[in-house]
Amino acid sequence: LQWLRNPGPQHEKRTLFGDMVCFLFITPLATISGWLCLRGAVDHLHFSSRLEAAGLIALTVALFTIYLFWTLVSFRYHCRLYNEWRRTNQRVILLIPKSANVPSSQQSLLALQSLRSNSKETIV
């Protein structure tokens, strides 16, 4: 969630938002268009030329190929951005376990320091 709130440069937020909007609009449109093309191909096979049916099937294959290519490229791009963000934005707090060598006053100081730490940091 931290990455979505602040992924870095502003253009990365716009790109992610734009791709999500495009995906939400293009997915139903590609599905409906593909179904209509295939339905038209079936009708042409039954009532008229096979050449028109083959053209509609080729159009459907091209449509879904382009859609899948765009989806995979977009997904890969955003995964790469996320992995780069994870690699460069690591915050780790090392908690020292209680031991016999550390007096209890120092242990309580360590506990207070860990409670005061930023909630965005990862506790290991």
- pLDDT tens, residue by residue, 53-97: 999 999 999 999 999 999 999 999 989 988 887 888 777 777 877
The pLDDT score that the predictor gives to residue 26 is 92
Reading the block at residue 107, the tokens are 């242990």
Look at residue 117 and tell me if it is in a domain: no
DSSP code at position 95: P
Look at residue 57 and tell me if it is in a domain: yes
Residues 64 and 37: beta-carbon distance below 8 Å: no
**What is the C-alpha to C-alpha distance for residues 67 and 61, in angstroms, rounded to an integer?**
10
DSSP code at position 119: T
Encoded amino acid at 113, one letter: Q
Look at residue 101 and tell me if it is in a domain: no
Look at residue 85 and tell me if it is in a domain: yes
Look at residue 62 and tell me if it is in a domain: yes
Look at residue 113 and tell me if it is in a domain: no
Please tell me whether the overall predicted TM-score, pTM, comes out greater than 0.85 for this model.
Answer: no
Count: domains in the chain: 1
Quote the domain boundaries for residue 65: 10-90
pLDDT at 21 over 90: yes
Encoded amino acid at 86, one letter: R
| pLDDT mean across residues, the chain | 79
Look at residue 110 and tell me if it is in a domain: no
Look at residue 100 and tell me if it is in a domain: no
pLDDT at 105 over 60: no
